Amino acid sequence: MVDLWSGLAQAFWLVVTLDAELMEIALRSLRVTLTALAVACLIALPLAALMAVKRFRARRFVIAILNALMGLPPVVVGLIVYVILSRSGPLGVMGLLFTPTAMIIAQTIIIVPLIASIAHQSIRDLWQQYHDLLISMNVTQAQKVRTLLWDCRRALLTAALAGFGRAIGEVGAIMIVGGNIDHATRVLTTAIALETGKGEFALALALGFVLIGLAVTVNLAIHWLGRTEREGGW
């Protein structure tokens, strides 16, 4: 029990004093995750809107696959990305393995199905309300997609938040493709695993506090951007 309180006290001190190593790891983690989230949203949100407005033969199959991929094991994603980016892989010549870029690729693959599936549910409901109006206006598919994405933007922020939560807490895939290299690819989750294994509980706890703090801060920021609390929706 004494060791626990001692570790908590040291962790609190590291956070309060903005320890250089702690801040470096936290900022790298945030940079990698936010970049992956931005790329994933650029892919997943238009895909979700297109599946809502366009009818094609394999539509139900694509939706089922996206829903199934929400539970895709991250370590499997990490292994696949590792094989593709390794020296003997098809993209090995690019030298991306064990870099933040490889971690961004892995996180993007993991969260695209999640964001697309959640966004599709919201956009599909809105499409049922807008269907007759947009059809009568004879707008193009691209215009339908833009309209739905804009008018559904608050619900899409929730989908993005779910993607951020999944990405910021990921450890398996980014450990494989990033290598947890100090001052290069070490992020919060991989650092917590490493420091816990070394018995450095103070730094591990401090990293954990920062991880929780980032998740809560981004959550509040997204709610503020969506202004849901001002419209009685929160």
DSSP-derived letter for residue 230 is: G
pLDDT of amino acid 66: 84
Q: Which H or E run contains 225?
A: helix 201-226
Q: Is residue 9 over pLDDT 70?
A: yes
Q: Is residue 121 over pLDDT 50?
A: yes
DSSP states of 42-71: HHHHHHHHHHHH---TTHHHHHHHHHHHTT
Query: By the 8 A CB rule, do 84 and 90 touch?
Result: yes
pLDDT of amino acid 142: 83
Sorting pLDDT into bands at 50, 70 and 90, what band is 227?
Answer: low
Q: What structural domains does the chain harbor?
A: 1-226 (1.10.3720.10)
Sorting pLDDT into bands at 50, 70 and 90, what band is 111?
Answer: very high
pLDDT of amino acid 232: 46
pLDDT of amino acid 234: 41
pLDDT of amino acid 4: 62
Other C-beta atoms closer than 10 Å to the C-beta of 90 total: 10
* b/e 113-135 (16+ beta carbons within 10 angstroms → b): bbbbbbbbebbbebbeebeeebe
Q: pTM value?
A: 0.85
pLDDT of amino acid 45: 92
pLDDT of amino acid 212: 86
Kindly report which listed range (159-163, 171-175, 206-210, 220-224) carries the lowest average pLDDT score. Answer: 220-224
Residue in 101, 219, 210 with CA at minimum distance from that of residue 163: 219
User: What is the rounded average pLDDT of the residues 92-102?
Assistant: 91
Other C-beta atoms closer than 10 Å to the C-beta of 94 total: 13
Q: Is residue 8 over pLDDT 80?
A: no
CA 23 to CA 81: how far, in whole Å?
28
Helices (H), ranges, 54-187:
59-69, 74-85, 100-136, 141-151, 153-168, 172-178
Tokens (6 digits) for 167: 């990405």
What confidence tens digit (pLDDT) does each residue in 158-188 have?
Answer: 888 889 988 998 888 999 999 999 889 999 9
pLDDT of amino acid 226: 60
pLDDT of amino acid 137: 81
Mean pLDDT of the residues in the chain: 84
